[in-house]
Amino acid sequence: MDWASSRAKTSRYDTEAERRPVKPHLAPQKASEHSTGFTSQVTGMMADSIVDKAIKDRTAQLQNEGWNGGYNNGYKADANGEIQAKDDEERDGHGADVDDDLEALRARRRKQMKEMQEKKQKNAALGHGSYDEIAEEEFLKVVTSSQLCVVHFYHRHFEKCKIMDMHLSKCAKKFFGTRFVKLNAEKAPFFVEKLAVRTLPCVIVFNDGVAKGRQVGFEGLGGDEFATGQLAWKLKEWEGIEEDFDPDDDF
C-alpha cells in the first residue's frame, strides 16, 4: 500500500490537531536509533549562523545610528550588540595615566622650586636685596655676575642724586631678582667715558652685562616728587626687573 492510500485510510482516526498541516521549518527532527546526529548538527550550525548575522546586523545598525561616535564619548557595543560604558574596561588604564600625569606635574614643580631656591641663594650671595656702593674696579664683575643689574652713577653733592638713591633703595628691597648698586662718577672716569655718562643722576640697566637702557635725570618721571613705582616701571621696560607689579603700587 502506498503512503497516500495509507494516509487516507488512517486519517479518520487522527485528532483535529494531528490533521493540521505541519510547517516545515518548525517540524521537529526525529532521530532514529541509527541516527548519527548529523541533521541536528546542521540545524544547530544554521541557528548559530543566524544569531551571528543578527549580532553583526545589530552592531552595524547601532553604528549607523551614532553609537560609533558614542564609543568615543564613553560607550561601545558588546558582543551581543548591547550598549555599555567603556569606562569599566578602561578605568584602570585611565587611572594609571592620571597618576602618571600628576607625578610628572609634581616632578616639574619640585624642579622649579629647587631652581628658584638655588637662584635665590645665589642672588643673596651676590648682594641682591641691598643697595650698595661699589668701586670702579668692581664694576665689570658686578654687572656680569647678576643677570639683572641697575647701576646709579651719582655725584655726592647733587640733591637729585640723593632723591634717586632713596627710590633705588626701595626698589632693591622689593625686587630681589635685580642687583642695585651705585658708583661715584668722580671716582669712575673710565666707565663714565666709555658709557658716555654726561648728566647726573644717570641710572643704567644691564641685562647679562649688556646695557639695555638708561634713566637720565628725572626725564619722563614728572618732576622731583615722582613715585618709586614710576621709576621701577621704566626699569622694567628696559628688562631690568623680572617681577610683576603695578606702577601705581605704594613702595
pLDDT reported for residue 56: 75
Same domain, 167 and 230: yes
Domain assignment of residue 146, yes or no: yes
State residue 95's pLDDT score.
Answer: 66
Statement to judge: residues 148 and 205 lie in one domain? yes
Q: Name the average pLDDT for the chain.
A: 79
Same domain, 131 and 231: yes
Domain end residue (candidates: 56, 85, 114): 85
Query: Do 74 and 159 lie in a common domain?
Result: no
CA dist 221 and 167 (Å) reads 12
- The answer to the question of residue 106 being in a domain is no
pLDDT single digits (tens) 54-95: 777 777 776 666 544 444 445 455 555 455 555 555 555 666
The residues near 192 (Cβ < 8 Å, ≥ 6 apart) are 153, 185
Mean local confidence (pLDDT), 218-238: 94
132 found inside a domain: yes
pTM of the model: 0.57
Domain-embedded: residue 137: yes
**218 and 150 in a common domain:** yes
Quote the CA–CA distance of 245 and 222 in Å, as a whole number: 20
**Coil, strand, or helix at residue 151?**
strand
Same domain, 131 and 222: yes
CATH number at 166 reads 3.40.30.10
| Cα(21)–Cα(29) distance, integer angstroms | 16
When divided into structural domains, the chain yields a total of 2
Output the CA torsion sign for 111, 112, 118, 122.
positive
On whether both 137 and 203 belong to a single domain, the answer is yes
Q: Do residues 171 and 150 lie in contact, with contact meaning Cβ atoms separated by under 8 Å?
A: yes
In a domain, residue 101? The reply is: no
pLDDT value of residue 222: 86
Task: Identify whether 191 is part of a domain.
Answer: yes
Statement to judge: residues 69 and 142 lie in one domain: no
Give the pLDDT band (50/70/90) at residue 11.
Answer: very low
Domain termination residue (choose one: 27, 58, 85): 85
- 229 compared with 116, residue with greater pLDDT: 229
Whether 185 and 153 have beta carbons less than 8 Å apart is answered as yes
Domain that includes residue 60, residue range: 48-85
Domain assignment of residue 133, yes or no: yes
Answer with the one of 27, 59, 85 that is the final residue of a domain: 85
Do residues 160 and 230 share a domain?
yes
Q: Is residue 59 part of a domain?
A: yes
* Residues contacting residue 172 through CB under 8 Å, at least 6 positions apart: 128, 129, 130, 131, 178, 180
Task: Clarify whether residues 233 and 133 are in a common domain.
Answer: yes
Q: How many CB atoms lie within 10 A of CB 123?
A: 19
Q: Distance between CA atoms of 180 and 113, rounded to whole angstroms? A: 25
Same domain for 69 and 164, yes or no, is no
How many helices (H) and strands (E) the chain has is answered by 9, 7
Confidence of residue 1 (pLDDT cuts 50, 70, 90): very low
> Each residue of 92-145: pLDDT tens digit?
566 677 778 888 888 888 888 888 888 888 888 989 999 999 999 999 999 999
Q: Which amino acid is at 60?
A: A
pLDDT band per the 50, 70, 90 thresholds, residue 250 = confident
